[in-house]
Amino acid sequence: MARRGGLSHINYKETKGIKATEGQLVKKGATLTRQGDKWKAGINTSGKSTVYALCDGTVYFKKRKGTYHKRKLFTTINIKEISKNKKSH
């Protein structure tokens, strides 16, 4: 009998979809989405089909209207940068 191909934890990062949720801390270079047209790169993110982080910080999403199709909404993935130089008095 043939076995069904299952999804293991090793190959999970290679599948389509969102990899980081809202409010999650991510590091620079972390993959946020793979092969998604639903999500666009926003602040402190880059990429076309695979969106990745340009800095360390927390993830948040925003819905925006399109420029040509006004009714169509798309989601931008943004990162709020964590400031490293916090001074305590």
Q: What is the pTM of this model?
A: 0.71
Residue 33 lies in a domain: yes
Q: Backbone phi, then psi, for 40, in 5-degree steps?
A: -115, 155
Within 13 Å and on the Cβ side, how many CA atoms surround 51?
24
pLDDT tens digits along 16-69? 888 899 999 999 999 999 887 888 999 999 998 899 999 999 999 999 887 787
Cβ neighbours of residue 73 closer than 8 Å, sequence gap 6 or more: 63, 64, 65, 66
**Number of independent structural domains in the chain:** 1
CATH assignment of the domain containing 43? 2.40.50.100
Kindly give the residue spans of alpha helices, DSSP state H, lying in the chain: none
Count of H helices and E strands in the chain? Answer: 0, 8
Q: Which residue has the tokens 């305590």?
A: 88
